[in-house]
Amino acid sequence: MQGRRWFFRWLAQAILTGLGWLAIATAISVVVWVAFPILSGFGQIQWFKLKTLINQQLVWQRPKTERQEPTLPQSEAIVFAEEEFRLQIAVLDLDVPVLPNIDATDKESYGPALKQGVAHAKGSAFPGQGKLAYIFGHSTNYEWFVAELNAVFYQLKDLEPGDKIMVEQNDKKLQYQVREKKIIEADETTFIEEHLDEDWLVLQTCYPPGTTWKRLIVVAQPTAEEDR
């Protein structure tokens, strides 16, 4: 009889011990599952910051003639037509086509467009119309996805107030200057809706790179004539 009691007591202890270790293993797995993407994203962001800094140093070490910005027309009445134009950011060594009138809410519309360049949001103004022009593009936190996703906007996080942005269409050129960067919620529309009548160029991508948690937006304004 005592032998049976000892056996059942041992079995109960073994089961409880096993359940305890299982609970610990499960807890560790959950922590790793939750924390790894965050830590990985943070590490990748820091890595890209370092790479971007190195790239910027290489870009701006070129002879001045190789990185000189194009001369801007002096007319204040430049208005872009509703056709493809280009976005150029010298400090990021970025020169990319902008496809016009792309529905930002329809993946079947913006998906193919973002494989070719970045997209001008349908319903927003075109540069030169005196209202808010909205351009969006892919971002990623993994270097090997930059080419696959055409994630040319992953460097937007490195722009700073005062950096210059150029938009060009045929012989028409407009220059903007970065005013601010903002991180907003993925479903936030108030900021844009409140400023539709502002003469702004807004660039948007996902943030942190490689996630769809939030949105990073860069707000730029036309440069004053004397700054061109």
pLDDT of residue 146: 36
Q: Give the count of alpha carbons within 13 A of 78, CB side only.
A: 16
Which DSSP string corresponds to 18-50? Answer: HHHHHHHHHHHHHHHHHHHHHHHHHHHHHHHHH
Helices (H), the chain: 2-60, 64-67, 107-114, 143-149, 190-193
Would you write out the chain's pLDDT as a tens digit for each of its 228 residues? Answer: 556 666 667 777 778 787 778 878 888 877 767 666 555 555 555 554 444 444 444 433 444 344 444 444 444 568 888 889 999 999 998 999 999 999 888 877 777 877 788 999 999 999 999 999 999 986 543 333 333 344 678 888 899 999 999 999 988 999 999 999 999 998 888 888 899 999 999 999 888 776 778 889 999 999 965 455
Spatial separation of the C-alpha atoms in residues 163 and 60, rounded to whole Å: 13
Q: Are 175 and 222 in contact (CB under 8 A)?
A: yes
The CATH topology of domain 69-227 is Sortase; Chain: A; (2.40.260)
Q: CA dihedral in degrees (187, 193, 198, 201; nearest 10)?
A: 30
What's the Cα-to-Cα distance from 8 to each of 17, 37, 175, rounded to whole Å? 14, 44, 81
- Tracing tokens 């045929």 back to the chain, one arrives at 170
pTM of structure = 0.62
pLDDT of residue 75: 45
